Structure 1
Amino acid sequence: MASPNSSNTLSSTFYLTGIPGYEEFHHWISIPFCLLYLVGITGNCTILHIIRTDSRLHEPMYYFLAMLSLTDMGMSLPTMVSLFRVLWSISREIQFSACVFQMFLIHTFSFTESSVLLAMALDRYVAICHPLRYATILTPKLIMKIGIAALLRSAIPIIPLLARLAFFPFCRSHVLSHSYCLHQDIIHLACADIKFNVIYGMVVITMLWGLDSLGIFVSYVFILHSVLRIASREGRLKALNTCASHISAVLILYVPMIGLSLVHRFAKHSSPLIHIFMAHIYLLIPPVLNPIIYSVKTKQIRQGVLHLLLSSKITSAVRQKC
């Protein structure tokens, strides 16, 4: 076994993989990926623009929605450059430092998204269970603190995990199984004892995603208990309808995430296409679907989107006349 050499590791080059067996179709495969990225970026930027420009949306629920849009883009954008470099046959190479930075962004924003969804669940709990105290509890100052805490809580635990990679020798293959870097992918290429990374990684996942999902579940137990005490059927449906978008966002994040984790741990010998497909669903589907769901299910956001579309049409019509 080669001895660890941090200088060699830091200067190592890894090779990304596109869609194995379909290399001749990479240019065509890049088209749907390009459309998904465009939809995701456009949708999230639209949500952010509407919330920023409409003073009526300067409320806790929409501040958390803005955080969700930012984390959605943070999850998908770090993979975009490396993916299209591979699919467009520009280069498959990625330096170790760039790989680690990409992993840091992907995993940090994945955990941050989970934390934001927990914050949104607490927002719904306060709105439904304590409506009269909603504005006094969720003040802008508290929301800012929650956002900063969510980011730090997600970023700091990742640092020891990735810093340890600098001391691993990679004396076997340098070919990664995805078109971007994931921690669970790169550690299997190391010629070293990876037990710490595996155990520590599981602890981080359990402490972050596990506690977040438990917090979301408990919040909805209290929400359902409060909703069932509402006398009218209309009132119950109206209260539950305010949670529909958030529940959809939770499922969109957690279902692919659980699927990807299960594939990595229990289907290691399955087709590489399954691993690649699940990894792309995990990173691309939330940024694409969340803005659509919130635009459809949230009246204020839907009105903002329609206003934006109509004002742009009017502006273009005026310019044509001039």
Structure 2
Amino acid sequence: MQRALLPFAALVLAACDPGQGREAFTDSRPPPSLAPRFLAPEGWAWGVVQAEGQPQLRYGVSSPVGTGTRAHVLIVPAYGESAEVWFETARQLNGQGYATWVLERAGQGGSGRYLSPHDLGHTEGFEAGADAVRSFIAGVIRPADDKPLILLGAGDAALTVAMAAQAGAPADAVILSGPDFRVQPPPRRWESLASRLGLSRLPAPGWTAWSRAAPDDYAAGLASDPWRGKVRHAWQTANPDLRLTGASLGWTAAQSRALAQVLAAPAVSQPVLILGPAEGTGAAQDFCGAQAACRYVAITDPGNALHLGENSHRTLWFKVITDLISEESHQVRAVTPSPPA
């Protein structure tokens, strides 16, 4: 019995003394194995903001080349993704005339990490991420009245974006891509006890350290395109500061709380577009039905990372998104008064 308690005691001590966090990382090295379409768009720039009560947040931005900006798109990546995974999408959005911003949540991507080991994902709550999105729009992007801002949240970041919109984020439309609205299983007795004892930084069951031998997103079934499915693993292999594997008990509990809050909150005022699987929509479909204006588009891609899907699926995904952005851009321009002569 005593021998069995030793590993648990070690984890408890680690949670009580989580070690040093890490500041934001803004100097990623391009993996030599990636094609140019997966590298940074022309003019890409990194920045760092300090959110209250959180580690530093990293963001990146690129603008259309040779044309004016028609709209702003703010992307919040899914768990485990860094902004680099969205470079191909940012490049394509720039080509449509849209400035593209990618904001990584605390503890994710190149943003600051809460604790050590740095490949253990942790958060103090999704509410802080939603507040950071609102502050980032108001304090950094500050879009002009004639340029709409579109919020896009992927995976579990769809909860962060939905919470930001419900709290009044100044966006013209909300897009949820492959939203992770899964209902988490109730915590086991020891997990609840650990949280009550302030040990939420313990790894959730099944956590393992990052490994080069781990399957990439294609092999894991998250991405249906074999080349796009290598992108995240390639960037993490070349840049240890971007590595992230499983989550802490605190992250899992925070995601459950966020889902309950999002489903119980009043409808958002903006148009909502949800792109998800044809089957098993569950809570995401329920959320859509509760909104004042929501469209659910079924994408038959078997992977949940729709931006990393094979062309037969991704082309539709990108068209639906850009059609909405274009529509919002035309509507904003139609109602924005011209300056006096």
Specify if TM > 0.5.
no
Higher strand share: 2
What is the TM-score when the length of structure 1 is the normalising length?
A: 0.33
TM normalised by structure 2 equals: 0.31
Give the structure with the larger helix fraction. 1
Structure index of larger Rg: 1
The structure showing larger relative contact order (alpha-carbon pairs under 8 Å, at least 6 residues apart) is 1
